[in-house]
């Protein structure tokens, strides 16, 4: 991904540019169609890709801004953000972004940044899975460096409490509505057992499961995620309905306390956030 992304930085017409939805209207008019085509094709064999691409953009923007630095591989002098705690063995969709970039380069050589492709991919993935549409402003530059230590500091953990989440989002100029929207994206897709095993067997070092978990659901999760860690690669659905759909009503799922991650549960238990869950 490094070579493909960095090529854009030499493009002469990206200097002092302003972000605009029409940034590529003359230089790459079919950009959106190309991105959508590759994503829709990928979803035929991998419906999780919508959630994966949304998460990939989110994890990019929370580190050095939306500069595609998450795509940069490690070098002898630079650690990759892909190996940060919140990303290692969990970020997906890199191959699809690479496919999109390859197709875009065929149509519009050295024109479109990987940062813009990530932003478009997140919006198109959300819309294709039934979520809202928004106009994506374009014209971003790709970064030349990654920062793994900042990724470890900035990316919210699956174990975060609501105060920690609110503080993290606030540092990026985001409010409670933004927090709920991104947390609500966990109602489609899947996660690793390693991210919830503590809730199933040793919640907050009590030696017992999280008492807020539905007992039937707890039994189901323990079957998938045994405490002996014999299957470290096992994954679980992030909601009880297994819908790969971003329109799932978050409050409908959370009222059964069958949420896998503490970050989602934290939102559902607060009076300020609860009304937003039904939107």
The alpha carbon dihedral of 279, 93, 57, 176 has a sign of: positive
Which tokens go with 234? 């096992």
pLDDT of 145 higher than 80: yes
pLDDT band, residue 131 (cuts 50/70/90)? confident
Look at residue 243 in the predicted model and tell me its pLDDT. Answer: 41
Look at residue 204 in the predicted model and tell me its pLDDT. Answer: 86
Which tops the pLDDT comparison, 11 or 259?
259
Report the alpha-carbon distance of residue 112 to residue 28 in Å, rounded.
Answer: 8
pLDDT tens, position by position, 157-180: 877 878 888 899 999 999 888 887
pLDDT of 202 higher than 50: yes
pLDDT band, residue 235 (cuts 50/70/90)? confident
Domains belonging to the chain, first-starting first, are: 2-154 (1.10.520.10), 162-277 (1.10.420.10)
Q: Find the mean pLDDT for residues 18-36.
A: 96
Max mean pLDDT among 13-27, 30-44, 118-132 falls in: 30-44
- At 237 the three-state DSSP class reads strand
Look at residue 2 in the predicted model and tell me its pLDDT. Answer: 52
Size (the chain), residues: 279
pTM of the model: 0.74
pLDDT band, residue 10 (cuts 50/70/90)? very low
Which residues are known catalytic residues?
Answer: 59
Q: Find the mean pLDDT for residues 2-27.
A: 66
Look at residue 278 in the predicted model and tell me its pLDDT. Answer: 45
Q: Find the mean pLDDT for residues 29-41.
A: 98
Spell 97-125 as b/e; 16+ CB within 10 A means b: bbebbebbeeebeebbbbbbbbbbbbbbb
pLDDT band, residue 76 (cuts 50/70/90)? very high
pLDDT of 78 higher than 50: yes
Burial class (CB in 10 A: 0-12, 13-18, 19+), 134: exposed
Q: Find the mean pLDDT for residues 238-243.
A: 53
Rounded percentage of the chain residues whose pLDDT exceeds 90: 47
pLDDT of 260 higher than 80: no
- Helix 94-107, helix 114-128: angle, nearest 10: 110
Helices in 175-259 by DSSP H: which ranges?
176-184, 197-201, 215-224, 250-254
């Amino acid at each position: 991904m490094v070579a493909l992304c960095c090529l854009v930085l030499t493009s002469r017409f990206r200097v002092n540019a302003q972000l605009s939805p029409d940034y590529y209207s003359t230089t790459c008019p079919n950009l959106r169609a190309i991105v959508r085509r590759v994503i829709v094709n990928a979803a035929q064999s991998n419906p999780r890709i919508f959630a994966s691409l949304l998460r990939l953009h989110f994890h990019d923007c929370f580190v050095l801004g939306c500069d595609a630095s998450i795509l940069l591989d490690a070098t002898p002098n630079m650690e990759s953000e892909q190996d940060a705690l919140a990303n290692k063995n969990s970020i997906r969709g890199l191959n699809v972004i690479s496919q999109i970039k390859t197709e875009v380069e065929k149509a519009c050589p050295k024109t479109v940044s990987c940062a813009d492709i990530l932003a478009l991919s997140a919006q198109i993935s959300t819309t294709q899975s039934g979520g809202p549409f928004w106009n994506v402003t374009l014209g971003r530059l790709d970064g030349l460096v990654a920062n793994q230590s900042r990724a470890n500091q900035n990316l919210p953990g699956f174990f975060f409490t609501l105060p920690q989440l609110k503080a993290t989002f606030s540092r990026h100029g985001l409010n409670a509505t933004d927090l709920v929207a991104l947390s609500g994206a966990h109602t489609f897709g899947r996660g690793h057992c390693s991210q919830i095993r503590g809730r199933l067997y040793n919640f907050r070092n009590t030696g017992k499961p999280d008492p807020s978990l539905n007992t039937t659901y707890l039994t189901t999760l323990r079957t998938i995620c045994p405490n002996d860690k014999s299957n470290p690669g096992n994954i679980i659905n992030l909601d009880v309905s297994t819908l790969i759909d971003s329109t799932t009503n978050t409050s409908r799922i959370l009222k059964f306390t069958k949420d896998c991650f503490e970050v989602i549960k934290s939102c559902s238990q607060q009076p300020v956030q609860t009304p937003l869950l039904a939107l």
